Structure 1
Amino acid sequence: MTTRAHSSPVHADLPVAIIGAGPAGLSMARALKRLGTPYVQFERHSDVGGIWDLDNPGTPMYRSAHFISSRDKSGFFDHPMPREFADYPSHDQILRYTRSFADEFGLREAIRFNTAVASVEQCEDGAWTVQTATGATRARAVVCCSGVTWDPRMPELPGEFDGQVMHSVGYVDPSLFRGRRVLIVGLGNSGADIACDAAANADAAFISTRRGYHFIPKHMFGKPSDHTDEWAPLWAGRLVYGIVRRVMIGDVTRWGLPRPDHRLFESHPLLNTQLLHHLQHGDIKAKPGVARLDGGEVVFTDGSRERVDLVVCATGYDTSIPYVPADYFRWKGGRPQMYLNAFSRERRGLFGLGYLEVNSSAYTLFDRISHVIAQHLDDQVQRPGRAGEFERLIRDDRPDLSGGIKFVGSDRHAAYIEVRAYKKYLRSLSRRMGWAPLTPGMFDGVRTAPGRKGSLHVRG
């Protein structure tokens, strides 16, 4: 196992390797560029944008997808989304915004497009080898930014079926549902979106879920619901949302959905009252878990049956970093266990950005984490004593980032963080380490495109 002692070489003459040019990878690139840290970025697709590009092979995106957090809470730091965007931007708006970010900060020049990373390996001298089809690149550190929604998780559905079974990763357009009887398995936010498409387009639509979820309206008091996070502590948020849910939504078991077995925020709530609209109008029918498939029918755990010819499993994704040896991270429940969800405790110079489950917008968190990673990499060269102090924290610090929430006891929820607790800890950590805080204007020296902050400069 590679030592973390700050006296080991940092190979300052080598670039940092960033893998992936989606939102997380672009955030990391901007943070390194601001500090003048040399880096090279690998992207297997032909353009930036990650999952938001429908042309990116393997993306889970579909045409009706919208951001689950609101426009004003979701942008990169000091680069707000344009005011003309919808309250909850569409996938196309997010893609244009992400590409404008890359253009405005001049991030394309360091990206090697159409270059998939096959493997990374740490050498005996502590440096890294990044292997692609075009050759090997030596790097002083590796930041994995390749995302968590590329490895679809399929449930076991016993029995024989005459129809089609697919994972939602293959779903793009509601035309798939026309003339068919469709079952959606799974009730995350993507499953709820796809179920609404099925309700509006299929001959008959059903949604199967084993667990109940709390529904939250997308707007409260005339504003997007996540604006409440700006002022409400956990107890107050639960009180406000609880009152609003009772008044505006009521008891969801009336429409066949299970009653939640957890308190609000202990799992991700559903921001999709459109699904309730379709349930209320009979456009879709809620069913319990699937017991088995039986020819042209699906049998459910309550013994009921429905004739179905298409089953879409919106059952999530397994976290995978296939180009990194498994023992370079400590894995638990199918997820890498990293300090602050970003720093490998096993290998010096190995980082991950975007491998976290969070109850609010991820983009601003990407910037906060990439800022910390970039400053630590700078410290390794300029202030090795401070770098060594932080490496001891990477090894030994075990902060509670739950914000007092007792998350549901599943593998997925074991990686959950509460966004305000996370931000608070990062702020206290920055003060302790003497790092410069994120401040408006600090990236102006990196900005290359003309025009106001947040304006769109999109390449044709």
Structure 2
Amino acid sequence: MTESKAEAQQSGPIIDRSTAVAVVGAGPAGLSIARMFRKYGVDYDQFERHTGVGGLWDIDNPGTPMYESAHFISSRDMSGFYDYPMPKSFGDYPTRTQILQYTKLFADEFGLADRIAFDCGVTRIEEDGEHWLVTTEDGTIRRYKAVVCASGTNWHPRMPMHPGHFDGAIRHAVTHRSARDFAGRRVLVVGLGNSAADISCDAAQSADAAFVSTRRGYHIIPKHLFGVPVDQLDDGAVTIPRWIERPVMTAALRVIVGDVTRWGLPKPDHRLFDSHPLLNSQLLHHLQHGDITVKPEIERFDGPDVVFTDGSREQIDLVLYATGYQMKIPYIDESYFDWNGDRPAQYLTAFNRHHKNLFTLGYIETNSSAYTLFDNISNLVAQYVAAQDSNPALTARFERLIANDDPDLSGGLSLVKSDRHKGYIDSKTIKKNIARVLEETGFAPLAPGFAESLRTRPSTLAMR
């Protein structure tokens, strides 16, 4: 047998795990696929560079963008793993600590933590014939049948540059932890995505003065409408077609929220749902009370001042760029993927069309809860891997879809032309496409009670 490049570069033998799968990451996406592998009898090893599960929801995880005031942007009853609802004792929009608690309980109840190598980051993945070589931080190399990249998206800040010299501090939102950091400062938050809106509210409560710079207007949706969490109206048990939902919701917001330009925000340059809306009732409160001043784009820095494109200027102590993240997968060469902007362009967001058994999970921007969506995708990934050894005809049917099927997962939305919206996924549409693929191939859909046999201990979510 010809010696591989990886074998030539190391002194010890490669550990042969060629019938197993390597899972990189033990955040929600990694835990989702791990449970599905257990369900379908797929052998796997899981690697996590941090000391525990939870991914970015653990505020002590180095590099996390998490901050103390963070809450889930989707509601409790829409947001859990499949067939594992969040406790009713949680708020309608759970806190970061509740989400981390829930994630740990999920891993504990299904025996997932016992299979995770903690403090063991992956540094390199490369193809080796029909297998994959995985190198970990200690230099060990293992050979696997497949790999699942599930290490998350919000770890590599996107940092713009503006001309001029600035006397104050410049940071990215990834460094923000607490509203207390803003005390005694005049703070400018650049950007107006959902995290930027949260951080602007932190500044409104603690800073001497709070400003937000935005280049476009957004539709702002309160987290509750008609007394219920708003996402239950969009993606609940009874779903409304988008062509009906859009005008109805637009009219409702006109009555309930009003004209956002009254508070200095630009008029939205797009229809509702053609960009990710802002779900933030606190932002409305602070705008309505004058706690946040809206500014246009930055033109340049000028010593202690920030100069804006309308010619106005403000003395600022801290500029915080809430300008998003690049979806990098740093441990594998980017040439293994097709790309849509900075997102890997995979079939149904998970399946590589050119390199068999190279999966991604969680590299998406979507308009609903991610956890159940992860489970829908994981269910398909796990069955496909299992079928490769047991059902070649089923495998072949699905591989034809991987090669040739190219559904539009945007749901027909005329999305804003921006990096953020390249590869944007409408949750209803991808779920419909997954259901179609399951029917066409013969893979099994998720069904209530599917995971009860996997529990390794009684449920600790007694409040459900």
TM-score by length of 1: 0.95
1:314 paired to 2:322? yes
Deviation by residue 1:58-79 (Cα, 9 ceiling, x = unmatched): 0000000000000000000000
**Maintained 8 Å contact 2:156/2:327:** yes
| CA deviation after TM superposition for structure 1 residue 239, in Å | 2.5
3-state SS in 2 of match to 1:40: strand
Q: Distance in 2 between matches of 1:451 and 1:276?
A: 39
Deviation, structure 1 residue 273: 2.6
Q: Residue 94 of structure 1: which of 99, 103, 106 is its match?
A: 99
Any stretches of 5+ residues in structure 2 without a counterpart?
1-15
Q: C-alpha displacement at 1:243, in angstroms? A: 2.1
Contact 2:164–2:302 (8 Å) recurs in 1: yes
1:4 paired residue number: none
Shift in Å at residue 400 of structure 1? 1.4
- Name the residue aligned to 2:111: 106
Amino acid of the structure 2 residue aligned with 1:207 = V
Secondary structure (helix, strand or coil) at the match of 1:292 reads strand
Work out whether 1:207 is the aligned partner of 2:215.
no
User: 2:309 and 2:463 mapped to 1: Cα distance?
Assistant: 50
Distance 2:91 2:196 in 1: 22
| Counterpart in the other structure of 2:137 | 133
| Structure 2 equivalent of residue 234 of structure 1 | 242
What is aligned with 1:62?
67
1:212-291 matches, cutoff 5 A? 212-229=217-234, 230=236, 231-291=239-299
Determine if the alignment matches structure 1 residue 411 to structure 2 residue 419: yes
Aligned counterpart in structure 2 of residue 449 of structure 1, from 450, 454, 457: 457
After the TM superposition, which parts of structure 1 deviate over 3 Å for at least 4 consecutive aligned residues? Answer: 454-457
The answer to whether structure 1 residue 421 and structure 2 residue 429 are counterparts is yes
Amino acid corresponding to residue 136 of structure 2 in structure 1: T
Please point out which of 22, 26, 32 is paired with 1:27: 32
Q: 1:404 and 1:332, CA in 2 relative to 1: closer, same or farther beyond 3 A?
A: closer
Query: Using the alignment, how far apart are the partners of 2:127 and 2:88 within structure 1?
Result: 45
Which residue pairs with 2:442 in the alignment? 434
Structure 2 Cα separation of the partners of residues 332 and 440 of structure 1 = 35
Pick the aligned partner of 2:49 from 39, 44, 47.
44
Q: CA offsets per residue over residues 154-186 of structure 1, 9 Å max, x none? A: 011111000000000000011110000000000
In terms of mean alpha carbon deviation, does 242-251 or 139-148 score higher? 242-251
**What amino acid maps onto 1:342 in structure 2?**
A
Q: CA deviation at 1:276?
A: 2.1
How far did residue 236 of structure 1 move?
Answer: 2.4
**Equivalent in the alignment of 1:170:** 175
Identity %: 57
Q: Does 1:328 align with 2:336?
A: yes
For the Cα contact (< 8 Å) 1:96–1:456, is it kept in 2?
no
The answer on whether the counterparts of 1:206 and 1:286 sit within 8 Å (CA) in structure 2 is yes
d(CA) in 1 for partners of 2:440 and 2:64? 39
Question: Distance in 2 between the 1:181 and 1:410 partners?
Answer: 29
Alignment partner of 2:147: what SS?
A: strand
Q: Would the alpha carbon gap of residues 212 and 408 (structure 1) be closer, same or farther in structure 2, given more than 3 Å must change? A: same
Mapped to 1, the partners of 2:196 and 2:442 lie a distance apart of 44
Question: Aligned letter for 1:77?
Answer: Y
Q: Which amino acid aligns with 1:163?
A: G
Q: 2: distance between equivalents of 1:383 and 1:93? A: 41
Name the SS for the 1:357 alignment partner: coil
- Cα distance in 2 for partners of 1:346, 1:165 equals 41
1:120 alignment partner in structure 2: 125
Q: Tell me the matched-pair count.
A: 445
Whether the 8 Å contact between 2:89 and 2:463 is mirrored in structure 1 is no
Q: 1:170 to 1:376 in 2, by over 3 A?
A: same
Work out which of the residue numbers 181, 187, 194 in structure 1 matches 2:199. Answer: 194
SS in structure 1 opposite 2:279? Answer: coil
CA shift at 1:14, angstroms?
Answer: 2.1
Letter in 2 for 1:382: S
Computed over aligned residues only, the root mean square deviation of the Cα atoms, in angstroms, reads 1.4
Please give the alpha-carbon distance, in whole angstroms, between the structure 2 residues aligned to 1:250 and 1:308: 30
Which residue pairs with 2:11 in the alignment? none
CA distance in 2, matches of 1:123, 1:356: 27
